[in-house]
Amino acid sequence: MNNATTVKRGLTLRQKEAITGVVFIALPLASLLVFMYYPIIRSFIISLYEWNLLTKPTFNGIGNYQTLFKDKVFLTSLWNTCRWVITYVPMSVITSFLLALLLDQKLKGAGFFRTLYYLPVVAPIVVVALLWVWIYNTDYGILNFLLEKIFHLDPIGWLTDSRFSLFAIAVMSVWKWAGYNMLIFLAALQGIDDSIYEAAELDGVTAWTKLIYIKIPLVMPSIYFVMLTAVIDAFQMFTEIFIMTKGGPGYSTYTVSYYLWSCAFEYSKMGYACAMAAVMFVIILVVTLIQNKVMDRQVRYDV
Task: Restricting to residues 206-235, name those near another protein by CB under 8 A.
Answer: 221-222, 225, 228, 232, 235
Q: What part of residues 110-129 is at the interface with another protein (CB under 8 A)?
A: 111, 113-120, 122-127
> Is 6 an interacting residue with respect to another protein (CB under 8 A)?
no
> Is 241 an interacting residue with respect to another protein (CB under 8 A)?
no
Q: What part of residues 176-205 is at the interface with another protein (CB under 8 A)?
A: 179-180, 183-184, 186-188, 190-191
Applying CB under 8 A, the span of 58-66, 84-92, 136-144, 193-201 interacting with another protein comes to 136-144
> Is 173 an interacting residue with respect to another protein (CB under 8 A)?
no
Least Å from the CB of residue 244 to another protein: 8
Applying CB under 8 A, the span of 1-9, 57-65, 173-181, 194-202 interacting with another protein comes to 173-181
Pick between residue 31 and residue 297 the one whose CB is nearest to another protein. 31
> Is 130 an interacting residue with respect to another protein (CB under 8 A)?
yes
Least Å from the CB of residue 156 to another protein: 11
Q: What part of residues 43-102 is at the interface with another protein (CB under 8 A)?
A: 43, 46, 52-55, 67, 71-73, 99, 102
Least Å from the CB of residue 223 to another protein: 11
Which member of 6, 11, 32, 62 binds another protein (CB under 8 A)? 32
> Is 288 an interacting residue with respect to another protein (CB under 8 A)?
yes
- SS3 string, the chain, reads CCHHHHHHHCCCHHHHHHHHHHHHHHHHHHHHHHHHHHHHHHHHHHCCEECCCCCCCEECCCHHHHHHCCCHHHHHHHHHHHHHHHHHHHHHHHHHHHHHHHHCCCCCCHHHHHHHHHHHHHCCHHHHHHHHHHHHCCCCCHHHHHHHHHHCCCCCCCCCCCCCHHHHHHHHHHHHHHHHHHHHHHHHHHCCCHHHHHHHHHCCCCHHHHHHHHHHHHHHHHHHHHHHHHHHHHHHCCHHHHHHCCCCCCCCCCCHHHHHHHHHHCCCCHHHHHHHHHHHHHHHHHHHHHHHHHHHHHHHHHC
